[in-house]
Amino acid sequence: MRIYLATSNKHKLAEARHVLSKYSIEVEQKQVKKLEVQADDVERIAEEAAKRLCEQGEDLTVVEDAGLYINALNGFPGPYSEYVYKTLGIPGILKLMDGVADRSAYFKSAVAVCAGSSVRVFVGIAEGNIAEEPRGSGGFGFDPIFIPLGLNKTFAEMTLEEKGEISHRGRAFKALAEWLKKYK
Ligand code: ITT
């Protein structure tokens, strides 16, 4: 089986491919113009973008939207993670967290697929804490400052495989794969 991932992020593509390969699902990158709606949550953003792709007849095309939610900052940056990563970056987030005792946070991934003209959304969450300083060079985005619960290394210190086992994206794509295997 083959699905199409509408993304410009090569790390996302690699992570999705890694998880889905275990289900013998191939992932092809699709260079389509993705609708960028402003919404309060990643589920809505992914769902609306997938709906638009459905209207254009893009069957088995997947959109993923993800964000980092920091509890002490009332869930910021959440759905604004891309913008905040580009503007404040990791130093800006660490500055906002300076002296903050509650460093708990989570990543959320929403994977929306257009399948047979309707849209389904699968969500994955990874709980953890914001590190005091960046560590590691793997992954992308906020990976160097995210320490998943129960571990003492950041996502950026993990291999693609290790991150995929416990990450928000790994979980959401696993749920998609299980659904595809059952119903497609
Ligand atoms: P698309 O082309 O698929 O939209 P993107 O990079 O814009 O790719 P998102 O909007 O889903 O992806 O992600 C928003 C930001 O959240 C992204 O720029 C990262 O900074 C951060 N992010 C998302 N997933 C992450 C992960 O697994 N690890 C670290 N940071 C992540």
* CATH number of domain containing 93: 3.90.950.10
For residue 77, cis peptide bond before it (omega within 30 degrees of 0): yes
Number of domains in the chain: 1
58 confidence band (pLDDT: 50, 70, 90): confident
Structure confidence at residue 32 (pLDDT): 73
Q: What is the mean pLDDT of residues 36-62?
A: 90
- Paired tokens of 64: 């993923």
For ligand 1, pick from 52, 68, 70 the residue to mutate: most ligand atoms within 8 Å of CB: 68
Distance 68 CA to ligand 1 centre (A): 9
Residue 33, classified by CB atoms within 10 Å of its CB into exposed (0-12), middle (13-18) or buried (19+), is: exposed
Q: Does this model's pTM top 0.85?
A: yes
Q: What is the mean pLDDT of residues 58-81?
A: 96
For residue 34, pLDDT over 70 is answered with no
Which of these, 100, 69, 90, lies nearest to 140 by C-alpha position? Answer: 90
Give the residue, by CA position, lying nearest to ligand 1 atom 15: 82
Which residue range(s) make up the domain with 119? 2-183
Mean of all residue pLDDT scores within the chain: 95
Distance 144 CA to ligand 1 centre (A): 13
Task: Identify which has the larger pLDDT, 138 or 34.
Answer: 138
Ligand 1 neighbours, Cβ below 6 Å, are 7-9, 12, 64-68, 81-82, 85, 107, 139-143, 155, 167, 169
Q: What is the mean pLDDT of residues 126-151?
A: 98
**Which sequence positions are flagged as catalytic?**
65
Structure confidence at residue 116 (pLDDT): 87
